Amino acid sequence: MLFNSIEFAVFLPVVFVVYWFVLKNSLRGQNLLLLFAGYFFYGWWDVRFLGLLFFSTFLDYFSGLQIHQALSHQRKKLWLLISVIANLGFLGFFKYYNFFAESFAALLTQVGLQPNLWTLQIILPVGISFYTFHGLSYVFDIYNGKTQPTKQFVEYGVFVCFFPLLVAGPIERATHLLPQFFKSRVFNAALATQGLRLILWGLFKKMAVADNCSKVVDEVFTNYSTCSGIELSMGAVFFAIQIYCDFSGYSDIAMGSARLFGFELLTNFKTPYFSRDIAEFWRRWHISLTTWFRDYVYIPLGGSKGGAWSAIRNTIVIFLLSGFWHGANWTFVFWGALNALYFVPLLLTGTNRNHVDTVASGRMLPNIKELAQMAFTFSLVCVAWILFRSDNLQAAFGYFSAMASNTFAGFSLSAWNSILLVPIGFWLLVDWTTREAGVSEVKGTWRLVAFDIFLILMILAFGSFSHRSFIYFQF
């Protein structure tokens, strides 16, 4: 079920009314409703994979209990390995089997062998990367003594399949979200209003900005060999805007929907395109994933304790894993490697923590240096996005080659429409002016009412109502 669909527009109010008006005095009833709603929401896409979701949930629930009750370290490790191997096994089979089979066959072909390629027609379960990482963080935290397991399967089940975050995050931690399901919730009108505003803001970014940018992006990346340098550069910039507004739009709707039911989710984006270097960008982009890799891969590998070279090695590892997490395609691996390459000079010079505050904090406008830093960082990110968006490495390198050779060709994009600059400009203005507090924290009643009305008008005027899927559903 898509957030930008008629089905969700009916589903959300129905669950809301039953939750607050029918079950308001029953915490267990509310949690059972959210559990049912999560499975209904997921099953709307493909009911066949509900069994996989349930199995993954039960496996981690049971493994968590066994890890906690184990009397020896070896038994704790055994149950941790069972959970990790099973979870990654399912993820690997559904997401990466054909990739490894085809890559292995290509390698054998290079040495003169002609293997019989055996691939499967596998449907990738939507959201499997996200709910797998939810469960793994739970068993890791129990194993490391950071949290206690719950004996309540319903509450743990809701933690895994809470419908706002089920298919595209943010990737929650049990230490943050799970305790919220055990606390009585009282309807908070201010929190619900903030939630509705976040939903509106997310729908605007998705429907009025991302889905319109996609038309230009699709044309450029499909016909890159005949596009001019300016059109190719434009395609990369528009994809940067598209993927940010698409994914952060989803996250805003997820956070807004959660607030309607009295829950707070982790913030997943903090205006990443206003970053002054690539390290700051990655502290602000897909925060729940980057912190997951930091806590469960980078730090266990030793982090930066072994010095600069240890930090470089571990950084390269997490960027490669992050790229591979995104999809079974060498383009994602190269995308991760390129971002690691961007990061290395900052580690060598010890400047990767230079920008931990918000740019132009307390000021309306950035200075010239900050503006140059943001422009340079954004350019690096756009170059990397070309790898991310391309269908394969051949197309990616062809795109780069065309950018270099077609620099002075003419402009002939049929999908280009200058009216797109209106919603893009509005998004940039709002993102900049709310870069420190966030949209949901803006004060002033009349200002907020005017903002909400204007958002609705912008969606009606510029929004695409084709119900285009969110980009991160494929991951």
- Per-residue pLDDT, 108: 64
Same-domain pairing of 20 and 103: yes
Residue among 68, 134, 176, 326 flagged as catalytic: 326
Same-domain pairing of 24 and 152: yes
Confidence of residue 408 (pLDDT cuts 50, 70, 90): low
Distance CA(304)–CA(301), nearest Å, equals 9
3-state SS string over 38-81?
A: HHHHHHCCCHHHHHHHHHHHHHHHHHHHHHHHCCCHHHHHHHHH
User: Would 315 be classed as within a structural domain?
Assistant: no
The Cβ-side half-sphere exposure at 173, using a 13 Å CA radius, reads: 20
∠ CA 62-67-70, nearest 5°, is 120
User: Would 216 be classed as within a structural domain?
Assistant: yes
**Mean pLDDT value of segment 275-285:** 97
- Per-residue pLDDT, 406: 74
Distance CA(440)–CA(371), nearest Å, equals 26
User: Would 390 be classed as within a structural domain?
Assistant: yes
Same-domain pairing of 91 and 148: yes
**Contact of 259 with 198, CB cutoff 8 Å:** yes
Tokens of residue 305, six digits: 């304790």
Secondary element (H or E) of residue 9: helix 6-17
Model confidence over 57-99: pLDDT tens digits?
A: 999 999 999 999 998 999 999 999 999 999 999 999 888 887 7
Q: pLDDT at residue 111 above 80?
A: no
368-389 and 229-260 are packed helices; what angle lies between their axes, rounded to 10 degrees? 90
**Contact of 297 with 317, CB cutoff 8 Å:** yes
- Per-residue pLDDT, 454: 92
Provide the mean pLDDT of the chain.
92
User: Would 318 be classed as within a structural domain?
Assistant: no
User: Would 328 be classed as within a structural domain?
Assistant: no
Print the domain residue range for 223.
Answer: 190-276+355-474
Domain finish residue from 132, 152, 187: 187
3-state SS string over 239-272?
A: HHHHHHHHHHHHHHHHHHHHHHCCCCCCCCCCCH
Domain finish residue from 155, 187, 219: 187
User: Would 334 be classed as within a structural domain?
Assistant: no
Same-domain pairing of 367 and 458: yes
- Per-residue pLDDT, 106: 67
Distance CA(242)–CA(255), nearest Å, equals 20
Confidence of residue 471 (pLDDT cuts 50, 70, 90): confident
- Per-residue pLDDT, 39: 97
Confidence of residue 45 (pLDDT cuts 50, 70, 90): confident
**Mean pLDDT value of segment 244-258:** 96
> What is the count of structural domains for the chain?
2
Q: pLDDT at residue 173 above 90?
A: yes
Model confidence, pTM: 0.94
Same-domain pairing of 242 and 365: yes
Q: pLDDT at residue 33 above 90?
A: yes
74-94 burial, b at 16+ Cβ within 10 Å, e below that, comes to eebeebbebbbebbeebbeeb
Same-domain pairing of 83 and 101: yes
Same-domain pairing of 391 and 254: yes
User: Would 443 be classed as within a structural domain?
Assistant: yes
Same-domain pairing of 182 and 194: no
Model confidence over 327-355: pLDDT tens digits?
A: 889 999 999 999 999 999 999 999 999 99
Confidence of residue 119 (pLDDT cuts 50, 70, 90): low
Domain finish residue from 170, 187, 204: 187
User: Would 225 be classed as within a structural domain?
Assistant: yes
Same-domain pairing of 467 and 374: yes
The percent helix, strand, coil of the chain (3-state, each to 5) is 70, 0, 30
Same-domain pairing of 112 and 87: yes
Same-domain pairing of 209 and 168: no
Same-domain pairing of 206 and 181: no
Residue 355 designated active-site:
no
**Contact of 45 with 1, CB cutoff 8 Å:** yes
Question: Where do runs of H (alpha helix) occur along 144-228?
Answer: 153-161, 174-177, 189-203, 211-222
